[in-house]
Amino acid sequence: MFTGLISDVGEVLRVKDEGPLRHLRVACGYEASSIGVGASIAHAGVCLTVVAVGRAGNRAAIDVDLGAETLALTTAKTWTEGAKLNLERPLRLGDELGGHMVSGHVDGVAEILSREDFAGMAEFKIRAPAALAKFVAQKGSVALDGSSLTVNSVEGDVFSVLLIPHTLAVTTWGERRAGDLVNIEVDQMARYAARLIGAREGSA
């Protein structure tokens, strides 16, 4: 489990395909000795398992594998050498839950429709996939590229989020523009609520 609070921005160093499997090496600012093989790290919201740990200059380098389903359902298929990715290590017992509960299981890909900058902040309008729009609610939470964000407004399948200067500075959001695609994970509570309502209506 994660909280959606980004703790580092990684850089893709190498991409290698072997049949349906894609191997990635990602440089990060974490201490290499603190990362064990088998550990989970969220990459742009996608929970991936570390299969090897090394060094790339003064940075740690972690290897992860991407399967066919991850490549099909997320933006991972577009990650190339030099790409920057929001990183988050998993929640530990006793950690402060500053964002919201994020599983790292991405639901789909959303599109940034517009970006408006003002007072050092930026408002993004984003189109959610049609099947996920019902789970996005005003003042609710959503994870976009792994970042826990509050939904400001909703109109149909389009919603807006406002990012403060700090978030723009320490995540990949500072580089995001209209037309970019981002991973979206809807709030688990909204998903469970919809499931319960559906089950109740089905039994009525």
pLDDT digits (tens, 9 = 90+) for 1-19: 898 899 999 999 999 999 9
pLDDT at 96: 63
Question: How far is it, in rounded angstroms, from Cα 61 to Cα 70?
Answer: 21
Domain 108-199 sits in CATH at: 2.40.30.20
Region 124-134 average pLDDT: 95
Q: Is the pLDDT at 165 greater than 70, yes or no?
A: yes
Would the pLDDT of 100 be above 90? no
Q: Are strands 84-88 and 108-118 parallel, antiparallel or unpaired?
A: unpaired
CATH 2.40.30.20 region(s) of the chain? Answer: 8-88, 108-199
Mean pLDDT throughout 167-181?
A: 97
Q: What is the second-level CATH architecture of the domain 8-88?
A: Beta Barrel (2.40)
Stretch 37-46: mean pLDDT? 97
Nearest to 135 by CA among 182, 188, 200: 188
Query: What is the DSSP-derived secondary structure letter of residue 131?
Result: T
